[in-house]
Structure 1
Amino acid sequence: MGGPDVARFAQSLTRNESAADDLVQETFLPAYRGCASFQQGSDAHRWLFSICHHAFLLLQECDQRMVLSNDSGDAERWAR
C-alpha cells in the first residue's frame, strides 16, 4: 500500500536518500500502529502522506533543537 509513493515523497522532502529511508520508517511504524483506527473508504495514500509529512516536520523540529559541538569541553562549560 503506497510504499514506493511514500518513499518518493520522503525523498522529495529530505533530498537525502538516507534521511528519506529514515522518514519512510518513521511513517510506516505509526501507520502500522494506527491501522486499526484507519477508516475504511478513506484515501490510504493521503493518510500515509499526511503521516510522512508530519513525521518530517517533527524530525526537522528535533534537528533544529540539537546542539552540535566539536569541543567536548563545551558540554562541561554549559553544565556549570
Structure 2
Amino acid sequence: MQSFRKSLLDTLPALRAFARFLTRNASQADDLVQETVMRALTAHDQFIEGTSIKAWLFTIARNLFYETRRRHRRESEVMEDFSAQAALNGDDGQAPLTDTRARVHELEREIWKLPPPLREALILVGAQEMTYEEAAAVCGVPVGTVKARVSRARSHLGRQLSSDEAADAGTDGGGEA
C-alpha cells in the first residue's frame, strides 16, 4: 500500500494537468483530482501491480469527468458558450495578447473544436506524453484507433492553423503597395 500511495503522489501533477485540460477550470480540475484520488484509494486493491498507475488514474479521472459532464450537461454548455463568447469579444479584462500568446490561444480554440475522441487522444499522447498503449487503455479502444485519432487530430490542426495563417497574411498587407 505504501508504494501504491507514493506512486499515486508522484502522478498527481500529471493527473492535475489532465484534469485541468478536461475541465478547462482550475477549481473543477481540483475537484476532479480529489474525487479521482478518493476513488483510487478506495479501489487500490483493484490496481494491478506492474501496470501503469498513470493510465489507471487517468482512466478513473476520464470516467468521472464524463459521468459528471452527463449529469451537468446543460450547465456546462451554458458556461462554455459564455466563456467562448467572452474570449471572442476580448472581454477577459487583459491587455492585448502578444503574437505568441495569441497563437497559443488559437491552438487551444482549434483543439477544442476537434471531436472529443480526437482531442482526447491528442492530449493523452501529445500533452501527457503517454504511450499509444497507455492512451488506448485510458480510452478503452485498440492501440490502432488511438494512433489513427492522433494522426487525424494533428492533420486537422495543421490544416486549420495553416489556413488561419494564410487568411491572416492576406488581410495584414492587403491595402499596401
The question of a shared fold, defined as TM-score above 0.5 by the shorter chain, is answered with yes
Equivalent in the alignment of 1:30: 39
Match of 1:57 among 52, 66, 80: 66
* Structure 2 residue ranges without an equivalent (≥5): 1-7, 76-177
Q: 4+ runs of 1 displaced by more than 6 Å?
A: none
Q: Which fold has the larger relative contact order, with Cα–Cα distance below 8 Å and residues 6 or more apart in sequence?
A: 1
Q: Report 1:1-80 matches (<5 A).
A: 1=8, 2-64=11-73
Alpha-carbon separation, structure 2, partners of 1:10 and 1:65: 20
TM-score (norm. length: structure 2) = 0.36
| Matched letter for residue 51 of structure 1 | I
Alpha-carbon separation, structure 2, partners of 1:11 and 1:38: 24
TM-score (norm. length: structure 1) = 0.77
Identical positions, percent: 38
Count of equivalent residues: 66
Q: Deviations over 1:8-57 (max 9, x none)?
A: 00000001001101110121111000101111111100000000000000
